[in-house]
Chain A
Amino acid sequence: MIKKIVHNRQAVIGLILISVVLFTAIFSPILVFNDPLKGRLENRFLDSSSEYPLGTDQLGRCIYSRLIFGARYSIGIALPILLVTMIISFIIGIVSGFYGGLIDRILIGICDIAMAFPPIMIVLVLIGALGQGMEGLVISIIISIWVWNAKIIRSAVIVEKNKNYIIAARIDGSSNLKIMFKHITPNVASQILVLMSLGVGDIIIMISSFSFLGLGVDSTLPEWGAMVGVAKKYIYSRPHLIVYPGFCILFTVIGFNLLGEAIRDICDCGYGEHNE
Chain B
Amino acid sequence: MIFYIKKRLFSLIFVLIGVTVFSFILSNIAPIDPSEAYVRRKNVSASEEQIEAMRKEMGFDLPIHKQYFIWVGNAVKGDFGESYTTGVPVIKEIAHAFPYTLKLVGVALLIIIILVIPISMLCVRYKNSFFDNFIRIITLIGISTSNFWLGFIVLYFFAVVLNVVNVLSYGKMENVLLPAITFAIPIAAFNIRVLRANMLENVNKDHIIYAKARGIPNRILIYKHVFKNSLPPVITLFGQTVGYMIAGTAIIENVFSWPGLGNYALKAIIDRNLPAINAFVLIMGVVFVICNLLADILNMYINPLTLKKMENYK
Contacts and interface: CB of A to CB of B under 8 A. Distances in A.
Interface of A: 109, 112-114, 116-118, 120-121, 124-132, 201, 205, 208-209, 212-215, 225, 228-229, 232, 235-236, 239, 242-243, 245-246, 249-250, 253-254, 257-258, 271-272, 274-275
A131 B31 contact: yes
B247 A113 contact: no
Contacts of A275: 233
B170 interface: no
B267 to A, nearest CB: 11
Given A128-B277, A129-B26, A118 B288 contact: yes
A232 B30 CA distance: 30
Contacts of A125: 23, 26-27, 269, 277, 280-281
A235 B155 CA distance: 9
A272 B152 contact: no
Nearest to A208: B146
Contact of B22 (A113, A128, A236): A113
Given A246-B146, A254-B144, 5 more contacts: A209-B147, A245-B149, A246-B152, A250-B144, A272-B237
Given A128-B277, A250-B145, A235 B156 contact: yes
Nearest to A258: B140
A13 B167 CA distance: 39
B220 interface: no
B285 interface: yes
Interface string B261-282: 0000110111010000100110
Contact of B281 (A121, A132, A249): A121
B250 interface: yes
A51 to B, nearest CB: 27
B284 interface: yes
A125 B149 CA distance: 23
B240 A120 contact: no
B22 A117 contact: yes
Contact of A117 (B31, B141, B288): B288
Contacts of B31: 129-131
Given A116-B288, A272-B237, A225 B153 contact: no
Q: Which of A131, A208, A209 counts the most chain B CB atoms within 10 A?
A: A209
Contacts of B266: 124, 213
B153 A213 contact: no
B149 A249 contact: yes
